Each structure stands twice: as structure tokens, then as C-alpha cells.
Amino acid sequence: MEILVIAVAGLLVIAAGNQLAPRVGVASPLLLLALGAGVGFLPFVSAIELDPDIVLEVVLPPLLFSTAVSMPVMDFRRELRAVAALAVGLVAVSATIIGLVVHAVMPTIALPWAIALGAVLSPTDAVAITVARGSGVSQRIITILEGEGLFNDATALILLSSATAAGIAHSADALQPAALVSGFLTSLALALAIGWAVGEGSIRVRSRITNPTADTVVSFTIPFLASLPTDYLGGSGLVAAVVAGLVISFRRPRLLPPAHRQTAQQNWRTIELILEGGIFLFMGLQAYGIVQDVVDGGFGLRAAVLLAAGTGALAVLVRVAFVAPLLVWLRRVRRRHRQHLEEERQRLERFETRLEQARDIDDELLAKHGLSAEQWHQAVTGWRDRLERGQRRQRRRGADLDYFTADPLGPREGAVIVWAGMRGAVTLAAAQTLPLTTPNRPFLLLVALLVASGSLVIQGLTLGGVIRLVRPRMASRTADDAERERLLRLLGDAATSRHADALTPAEARELAIETIRVQRHALLDARDEGLFSSSSLEYALERLDAKEILLTTAE
């Protein structure tokens, strides 16, 4: 009964925090974190400790899966370079530098355990990005931050595992770079393979389910179907859940009926609200128990606070030093991309000219090549298909270049990317996976808690001020409106030219439904070529879905 009362109270607190946040101008996760910490320090509340396996295996897979499903795959593909650099390179660099500095400042913390602490403090939290999502910055910044938060856990957990093994072996030599790279690639390969297989298989199964409620129930199992076998085989279960979510995000508009997608989306938003709110609430509630362990163990609270402040600041400085050259490199890649695009355009034009000439055939030319007229026609048809594939690829690359040109990443945007990279619940959960025999374990847990909560509070509360100060490129509603007009014209062109004047009401309704489906296919073809922004595509897709649901439910 007591657990039930606590659960009900927690749900009410999460709902209240979600409603109160817009009124006080503070993100809901920050309110819940502060409330949890306040309740945890009340004298009649006993110390609370949440099993880290619950966070890593039960809470995070569905949360990251939900974020991946809602992420436009087109935008993620475009930002893959930046995401990979931040999720792998930055985490590895941050963990190493933080570990070396911690060991130098506090020699009592052996180097392997110092690097383990660095691995814990390095990854940003995809859940914490909710603080930045409502700030009005461009979707490109949000995509990079979310993509980084979705994939950097794998790098951090592999580094943590290797550093822990080295610490247990009492040898820093056990931190072999070759072994780390091999372990990372193996873990990533398993996650990609299993995540893709689960995502592709589950979306095909769901396409055969006729009941939207049953389809939603099946969707609840997908993150665990991806993460559990991957974890068992030694891969990254969190990355597998993310990959499955990305596959479903890309495939579901073509395979799932609108009613199924809408029902699942609404239910997943509820699950996301509960899990996201609960993880920050429990993060605050655990503060008292961690502090008490440090006091009981004779460790200095002052030393923990100073070390947390230093490592938190160092993590931000390392992020600045990494993001600045990353933006320069991305600009150079864009210039090379423009040059290659022009070369590809000229090559396709030459190929098209030769193809036009190949249509003029005579008996002498056929005899020269030893082909019949039918064989020559088949060859020309194959060349035409090859040309069309090249032109589609050219249009997509051109659309990608337009995307980068219209929304460039400069120093102002880089400042937001740096400051919005907050630590969160993953940091605390990863720290709690340290073995009980870890030297100074309560001290390390407190440092992780202080860095995570300090990052959320300081960076979260000041992010709006930083945005107003640096004035980055913001999301443009005017540009979105103009693009939506072009997109609606595309849908009008895709609609059938048949008229419903001479049709019965049932036939007219079937014609309208078929027209909507033709428009949806045209819309998704435009998505695959990258011709419109993800926000405009989502807007048009929601309109089509609403119309089809209205028609299919009408009697």
C-alpha cells in the first residue's frame, strides 16, 4: 500500500510540475529535481537509492527510443558527422582529460578510477535536452544535441567498463587504446545490427495489426526487444533501442495507418512524461543518501564540492575547445560538398547528352556493337534508369547543401551547442554502476551528482540568457510558412484529376481516401529527396492523417 501511495503521489507531482513549469518560466525537469532534493532532505524521509540497472535497462531504453522515433531521420542523416564527432570523439577526449586532471589534483584517486569518473561525467543527456527544446533555437541545433545525447552513452559506458576493469586490476596499463576501439566497434556493430533488425521486423509486424490499441501495446515492447539481447551479447542496448526508433521513424508513415500512428504517439507522450519526470524526481531524492554516505565515510564534502565545480567547468572548457574546430571542419566539408556537387552535375549532363545521342541508332551501329535493336533498347533503358538514380541523388545532395547554407553553424550557434550540452540522469546512473569495492565510491558518486545537478540547474536556468546574449539564428516562422505553401502546392499537383460529381457518396469517400494516400506517397518521396524541411513535412503529414482518419471513421 505504501508503494502505491508513493507512486500515485509521484504521478501527481510530475503532472503538477509539467503544468507549473510554463507559468514560472523554469523547465519541468529542473522543478522536479529541486523538489526531489528538497523532499529527500526532510528529516522524516529515509535515504533513497535507485538501482542503476533500473535506470539503464528499464527507464532509458523507452525514453531514448521515444526520442529517436520523434526525430526526423532526414535531419539526423544530415547532421551525422557532427553527431558522431560529439558522441564519440568529444566523450573520449573529455573522459581522458578529466581523468588526468582529477588524478593530478587528487593523487589518492588512482588513474583508472579517475578516468572512470571522467567517463561518467563526459556524456550529455538526451533527456536533459528538453530544457533546450523550448528555447526557440533552430531545429538544426536541437537535432545535433539530441543526436549526441542518444549515442554518446555507448562511448561513455565502454570507457567506464574498461577503466573499471583497469582499476580492479590495479594497473593503468590495462587501459589499452586498441582494446577500447575494438570493444567500441564490436558494441556498436551489435547495436546497429540488432536495432535495425528489431526496428524493421517490428514495423512489418505492426503493419499487419488492425487494432490501434494492440499496435500501441506492441510498440511498448520494441525498445526492450532491441536492448535486452544486445546487452546480453555485450553490445550497447541503449544504442540498439535508438537505432530501432530511427528505423521506425523512417518507415512508419508508409507502413502504418494514420490512426495507429496517432494513437501510439499520444500514448508514448504520456509514457515519456512519466519516465522523464520520474527520473529527475528520483535524481533529487537520492541526493540525501549520497551525501550521508560521504559524511559517514569520513570524506570531505568541501573537497567533493570543489572537485565537482572544477570538473564541471573543465567539461565545459573541453567542449568549447572541441566544438570550435568542429564547426570550422564542418564549414570546410560544406565547401568541398559544393564543389563535388558541381562536378557531379556536369558529369550527369555529359551522360545525359550521350544518352540522347544513343537513341539515334542505325543498322551499322548495331552491327558494330553486335546487338539487336531490342538489346540496344534494353541497354538504353538501363542507362536511363541509372541517369534518373543519379539525378535523384543529385537533388538530395543539392537539398542537403541548401539546408546547410540556409542554417549555417557559426560561433553564435556553437556557443548554444556548448552551453546546452547538459549532464543528467545518465551521469548519476553510470556512476552508481561502479563496483562496491571502488575506492572512495561515495565520494565519486557525490561528485557525479553535483556535476549532473549543477549542470542542469546552472546551464538550464541560464540557457535563455545565453541565447539572448549571443543571438544565434532562431527558428524562422516566415520561412516555414512560405515553404508550407510550396508543399501544399505539391500535394495539389499529386492529387487525382478525377471529379466526384457523378459518384455516389461511398465512391466519393473512397476516391478522397485514395487521393490522400497518393499525396502522402508524393510527400514521402519529397522527404526522401530532402526537398522540404522536416517541420513542414510533419505539418503536411499531420494534415493528411487528420483528413484520412476523419474519412475512414465516417459512417
CATH number (domain holding residue 440): 1.20.1530.20
Least confident of 152-166, 284-298, 389-403, 473-487: 473-487
- The whole-number pLDDT of residue 408 equals 86
Least confident of 126-130, 217-221, 297-301: 126-130
Residue 1 predicted with pLDDT over 70: no
CA 221, 223, 228: angle at the middle one, nearest 5? 95
Domain boundary among 436, 451, 475: 475
Longest dimension (CA), the chain: 99
Residue 555 predicted with pLDDT over 70: no
Q: Can you say how many angstroms the Cα of residue 258 is from the centroid of all Cα atoms in its chain?
A: 23
* 425 CB-near residues (< 8 Å, 6+ apart): 55, 59, 60, 125, 127, 128, 279, 280, 283, 452
Comparing 361 with 104, the larger pLDDT belongs to: 104
- The whole-number pLDDT of residue 518 equals 83
* 216 CB-near residues (< 8 Å, 6+ apart): 260, 263, 264, 267, 268
Q: Cα–Cα distance between 24 and 441 in angstroms, integer?
A: 37
Domain boundary among 475, 506, 522: 475
- The whole-number pLDDT of residue 355 equals 74
Is residue 385 domain-shared with residue 509, that is, in the same domain?
A: no
Q: 547538459: which residue's cell?
A: 422
- How does residue 98 score in pLDDT terms, banded at 50, 70 and 90? very high
Is residue 249 domain-shared with residue 329, that is, in the same domain?
A: yes
- The whole-number pLDDT of residue 197 equals 96
Residue 170 predicted with pLDDT over 80: no
Is residue 49 domain-shared with residue 143, that is, in the same domain?
A: yes
Q: How many CA atoms lie within 13 A of 210 on its CB side?
A: 0
Is residue 375 domain-shared with residue 455, that is, in the same domain?
A: no
- Own/partner contacts of 265-274, CB < 8 Å, gap of 24 or more, are 267/216, 268/66, 268/69, 268/216, 268/219, 271/62, 271/66, 271/220, 272/62, 272/63, 272/66, 272/67, 273/14, 273/15, 273/18, 274/11, 274/14
pLDDT in tens, 305-337: 999 999 999 999 999 999 999 999 999 988 888
Domain boundary among 386, 404, 422: 404
Is residue 379 domain-shared with residue 281, that is, in the same domain?
A: no
- How does residue 477 score in pLDDT terms, banded at 50, 70 and 90? low
Query: What percent of the chain shows pLDDT beyond 70?
Result: 89
Contact between 17 and 277 under an 8 Å Cβ cutoff? The reply is yes
Whole-number average pLDDT of the chain = 83
Contact between 494 and 520 under an 8 Å Cβ cutoff? The reply is no
Which residue type sits at 338?
Answer: R
Output the CA torsion 4→7→9→10 (10° steps). Answer: 170
- The whole-number pLDDT of residue 360 equals 67
- The whole-number pLDDT of residue 547 equals 84
Residue 225 predicted with pLDDT over 90: yes
Determine how many CB atoms are found less than 10 A away from the CB of residue 243.
Answer: 27
Residue 389 predicted with pLDDT over 70: yes
Closest among 351, 278, 375 to 33, alpha carbons compared: 278
- How does residue 21 score in pLDDT terms, banded at 50, 70 and 90? confident
Is residue 285 domain-shared with residue 198, that is, in the same domain?
A: yes
Contact between 222 and 202 under an 8 Å Cβ cutoff? The reply is yes
Look at the chain and report how many structural domains it folds into.
3
Comparing 379 with 496, the larger pLDDT belongs to: 379
- The whole-number pLDDT of residue 388 equals 80
Is residue 308 domain-shared with residue 394, that is, in the same domain?
A: no
Is residue 346 domain-shared with residue 451, that is, in the same domain?
A: no
| pTM for the model | 0.84
- The whole-number pLDDT of residue 494 equals 63
Q: Cα–Cα distance between 301 and 299 in angstroms, integer?
A: 6
Residue 369 predicted with pLDDT over 70: no
pLDDT in tens, 335-365: 888 888 888 888 888 877 877 776 666 666 6
Contact between 489 and 327 under an 8 Å Cβ cutoff? The reply is no
pLDDT in tens, 25-55: 777 888 888 888 888 888 777 777 777 778 7
Is residue 443 domain-shared with residue 483, that is, in the same domain?
A: no
Residues of the domain holding 497:
479-553
Comparing 499 with 15, the larger pLDDT belongs to: 15
Comparing 367 with 256, the larger pLDDT belongs to: 256
pLDDT in tens, 500-539: 556 677 777 788 888 888 888 888 888 887 777 787 888 8
Is residue 175 domain-shared with residue 269, that is, in the same domain?
A: yes
Mean pLDDT, range 140-159, rounded to an integer: 86
Q: 533503358: which residue's cell?
A: 381
The dihedrals phi and psi of 110, each to the nearest 5 degrees, come to -60, 155
* 446 CB-near residues (< 8 Å, 6+ apart): 290, 291, 293, 294, 299, 301, 304, 308
Q: Cα–Cα distance between 345 and 543 in angstroms, integer?
A: 35
- The whole-number pLDDT of residue 206 equals 93
Is residue 298 domain-shared with residue 368, that is, in the same domain?
A: no
- The whole-number pLDDT of residue 127 equals 62
Q: Which of 239-248, 351-360, 373-382 tops mean pLDDT? A: 239-248
Closest among 63, 187, 312, 425 to 433, alpha carbons compared: 425
Is residue 129 domain-shared with residue 150, that is, in the same domain?
A: yes
- The whole-number pLDDT of residue 363 equals 64
Identify the three-state secondary structure at position 42: coil
- The whole-number pLDDT of residue 131 equals 67
Q: Cα–Cα distance between 166 and 182 in angstroms, integer?
A: 16
Identify the three-state secondary structure at position 474: strand
Residue 297 predicted with pLDDT over 80: no
Comparing 438 with 85, the larger pLDDT belongs to: 85
